[in-house]
Chains A and B, each alone.
Chain A
Amino acid sequence: MPEPAIEFREVTFRRPGRSPILDRFSLTVESGEVLVLVGRSGAGKTTILKLVNRLLSPDAGAVLVEGRDTREWEPIRLRRRVGYVLQDVGLFPHMTIADNVAVVPRLEQWPPDRAAARVDELLELVGLPPPQFATRWPDELSGGQRQRVGVARALAVDPPVLLMDEPFGALDPLTRAELHGEFRRIQGRVRKSVIIVSHDMGEAFALADRLGVVESGQLVACDRPAAIAESKDPRVRRLLDAMPAVPRGEEER
């Protein structure tokens, strides 16, 4: 069995003077798998992602990426190997779509024609035809289109690990379902090790290979979606009961 892509070992993280956000939190993401973490707002989901690319460092325990402690990684190298799709996308408003996607290739000093070819490839992949979108500006795009650009940007230098923070949170249900399908299609081709955090159980069922439930800084359940759906744990049931209906995304799997 290959080593896990990401591993949290008994990780504790706290803001000074407050109760811990993560309390001896452990988690494993296998290579090529999509793990969706679900929990209420404030359960520490974003913190988990930021610990992976070392925007934050654990107070106790260790986070391992590709078998190496994040504190041993050179942070710049680590971050360029970990694609990150932010909650509110965070596209650079002063750059065109193509320039936004090409940010990390430029940082890595790719030759311009190689970067340009990669941008075209990625925009095709996320369903934004380059002739139509490459030279446009972020504020000329709809929310769903911006999310796609965010995904393309995170994938630009083909990082083995992808982190997605509520990537489809701000979208209307139709666009959302459409993007869920797109995501499964893209993941089928690129096979990344992915952590997605979401507060929406429906989204989790639509996207996850495995599904984790985070509460009070701990992982209270983590299993295949079907097993989670059967769970008797009251903390899991509360989230399941809040779900409006069986999401359509699930059938697509």
Chain B
Amino acid sequence: MKRTLLALTGLITAAALFACGSTATTTTASFDSAMTINVYTRDTTSGTRAGFMAGIGFAEAETDDSVLVDGFIIKDNTGILSAMSIDEYGIGYISLSSVNDTIKALYYEGVAPTEANVINDTYALKRPFMWMTRAAGDYPSADVEAIVNAFVAFLGTSDAGDIIANAGAIALPSSTTWDAIKSQHDVCLEDNSGVTVRFGGSDSIQKVAQALTAAFMPKCGNFVAEHDHTGSGDAYKRTNDPAIKDTSVGKDLAFASRYFKTTETVPEIQRGQLAWDAIVAIVHLNNPLSDVTAADLKAIYDGTYAKWSDLDANE
């Protein structure tokens, strides 16, 4: 009995090994569009997911999995990237800075996903990273106001651009360096270790914002940066809404990962853009698809298109 069991185990192992060995070579370059689309997504806490879903006009899927097509696969940025090198029939999205030649990055509405096209504002699957400050004279102290002004100036330098790029976003082009403009900000020569500046707004920008303040603190008298990111909606409210800005959650400078709405108007000097966050839909290199529209992507993610041929039929 035991010996039979042993023989059986050996046989199964051998069969499994043979199966693996023989199947590893069966992948062909021919693409079968009758296959189901495997939909890859980030999880609901991801800022990239929020940007992607809002960008393709599927905002209800930003934080809700139940509106997505059945059988979607959740992976992180790198997970989706590596999955697209395996899964011929998959589609996913990653941030533009992660794109490499192991996958095919899709044109969006006919525009190639390149940094240049993001900066010249032709590539549309992206969202702006915006900042907003309090009104002049409406700060806890003159020091805080001066540091915020210096930080805003810093955002426009190539030093900040490098930090933004390292954090995965796309900085606006700049030819100024901090060294060239720092003489205009005397506050940074003082010891500011007792001054706290409150940052907040979009949580998608938190990583970029923290990298920026971490780099700027030693350049500006070691002030203390306090980060409390609660969402783009709070950027205006906590800096300029008279009912909230002076409560304990008030902020000195806050970020939004979208343009400010008409209800959030402040003088132009109090707001601006620091970067772009561009997202790219990606597929396997064998996939003949090269260009998608927002409507295509929404139809794929909500399950209207289940097979790749559905996409061709509606082109």
A pairs with B: no
- Residues of B whose CB lies within 8 Å of any CB of A are none
- Residues of A whose CB lies within 8 Å of any CB of B are none
